[in-house]
A and B are shown apart, each in its own frame.
Chain A
Amino acid sequence: MARTLAMFTDTSLCIGCRACQVACKQWNELGLEVPDWTGTYQNHTHFTDKTFRLVRFIEEPKPTGDLAWLLMSDVCKHCADAGCLNACPTGAIYRTQFGTVNINQDVCNGCRYCVSACPFGVVSFNENTGTAKKCTFCNDRIHNGLGPACAKACPTESIQFGFRDELVPKAQKRVETLKAMGFKDAQLYGADSSGFLGGLNAFFLLLSKPTTYGLPENPKLPQKNILVDSLLSIGSAVLVGLGALVAFRQRGPGGEG
């Protein structure tokens, strides 16, 4: 496997211009959507089959009573332990040699299990194609030595693209700088490859706790439930099966009718 590619989104540099969102739509020919009125500048409320990059506009109350903008360009995390990839019953979802996670549109049959399995609500179902859709890290571009369209378009380098083993130390350094500047809640989300989901190949620098951005604090790989749930099912099967055998074996009052 080639060196893992990653995207580091530094939310402290995001100015909410949505160039990334537009570049993503243009390069991937995702088409138009009717905007949602969310009460903020954010459009849309969540990822869709035509919105793979989504700039979140969050208003966080400050101790002074004012509101502070928290801006975050969100994207598929290309998890090292990907719930969608594990869930896929057709093998349509696969990992590339760069560590990214893609959906083969010619194999996906639209069962939508990955949509429910994704811990971040990224994978979306497209009614027209009947298949699941999500960010590919601009698979065609990265295979030709170009960065993803969103990273290329970002005017503030809030989205940085490169090798994961180079980006993580850079991100850690940036956290230290921000903390020294007084951003005490600055933290990395998904950079630790020994952390949740084996680390995220699209990881973030956040200025507040993850839940403020709508990100789960400690996302869980849904397939981790399979062992316990299966063992309990086997227990239930043994009881129901033995119950049936005992019921038919016992000497009952009915007798052969």
Chain B
Amino acid sequence: MALLQSAHWPFLIDVYFFLGGLAGGAFVIATAALIIDSVRYRDVTRVGYYLALIALLPCPVILIVDLGVPVRFMNMVLTFNPLSPMSMGAWALLGFSTAAFLAAFLTLLEDLGKARNLSAPKLIVGVIGGFLGFFLAAYPGVLLGATSRPLWINAHTLGALFLAVGGSSGAAAIALVLAALRRRSRDGIARLATTTVLALLIQLIAVIGFVWSVRASGSTQALSALTLITSGPYSTLFWGGAIVVGSVVPLLLGLVALKRPSVGLTAVMSVLVLVGGFLVKTLIMAAGQV
């Protein structure tokens, strides 16, 4: 057996991966709503842009605190290394933070009545920021795939999976906030339920792709790490939490909500999606580092 070492990234990094994905997903969905109908889905866009910025705020702090020499965090943005997903991620975080701040700021100006309609600048910021947001959601998966850790190097769908989790959790978080605010946005919540269902489907396909590609690799070390998730100590959390409660049940609830839109049902679904998305990322991180 090859004697590999692990970075032992702590739980905080799991939190960062989740929040970064959620922020990116929420931002893209807010932009999609803005593109389709800025008036009809005004609340979705507002909440989405605010949420993206709020979810993003702890991210740089988490990353800096985790460094061995935190004062040297700026060294990340003094280099541009396309072969390093971490380098590209640092740039994406910087770019997306700027976009998320601008989008939230423009929304705030509208909300405070300082400007009547800022849809045009929001659209520009939204589209550019949307690309960066999706990048931020996906890059951690590509980053893990570009290590020598057996579970990750043999899985090719981690980027796709992390992005889909970002999409589902972003949509779910917006829906949850709208439901909690009790605003009259039933239509928006119904659209968010549909978005969540679609993202969940892609998420499940990516999970299947992950398990399949690790199995197909035939690597003994990768299979033994996968076993931790599928039948070992993490299996209850994976099958029970991430798959059944966090993906399949909300998918079924979402399908019901598609037929009969319900704010309550969408809220329950959203909570489950958030839990499931967080568990998927956390368990893949944990099993890959053992």
Contacts and interface: CB of A to CB of B under 8 A. Distances in A.
Interface in B134-151: 134, 138, 141-143, 145-149
Contact of A236 (B35, B44, B68, B202): B202
For A89, A126, A250, the residue with the greatest tally of chain B CB atoms inside 10 Å of its CB is A89
Contacts of A195: none
A173 to B, nearest CB: 29
A220 B219 CA distance: 13
Given A86-B84, A91-B78, A130-B69, A123 B5 contact: yes
A16 interface: no
A47 interface: yes
A28 interface: no
Contacts of A252: 187, 190-191, 194, 261
A109 B36 contact: no
A97 interface: no
For B148, B160, B163, B192, the residue with the greatest tally of chain A CB atoms inside 10 Å of its CB is B148
Interface size grouping (class) on chain A: 35 or more
A209 interface: no
Contacts of B36: 245, 248-249
Given A109-B69, A233-B160, A45 B3 contact: yes
A257 B41 contact: no
B206 A236 contact: yes
Contacts of A26: none
Contact of B68 (A47, A89, A112, A122): A112
Contact of A229 (B78, B159, B191): B159
Contacts of B161: 236
B195 A247 contact: yes
A226 interface: yes
A248 B143 CA distance: 32
A208 interface: no
Interface residues of B, number: 81
Contacts of A109: 67-70, 72-73, 75-76
Contacts of B41: 248
A196 interface: no
Contacts of A108: 68-69, 72
Contact of B7 (A116, A219, A247): A116
A229 B146 contact: yes
A45 B69 CA distance: 27
B215 interface: no
A229 B76 CA distance: 23
Contact of A254 (B7, B148, B198, B261): B261
Contact of B147 (A117, A122, A216, A249): A117
Interface in A148-205: none
A226 B147 contact: no
A229 B139 CA distance: 9
B185 to A, nearest CB: 6
Interface in B141-188: 141-143, 145-149, 153, 156-164, 166-167, 171, 184-188
Interface of B: 1-9, 25, 28-29, 32-33, 35-37, 40-41, 44, 66-70, 72-73, 75-76, 78-79, 81, 83-87, 89-90, 130, 134, 138, 141-143, 145-149, 153, 156-164, 166-167, 171, 184-192, 194-195, 198-199, 202, 206, 209, 260-261
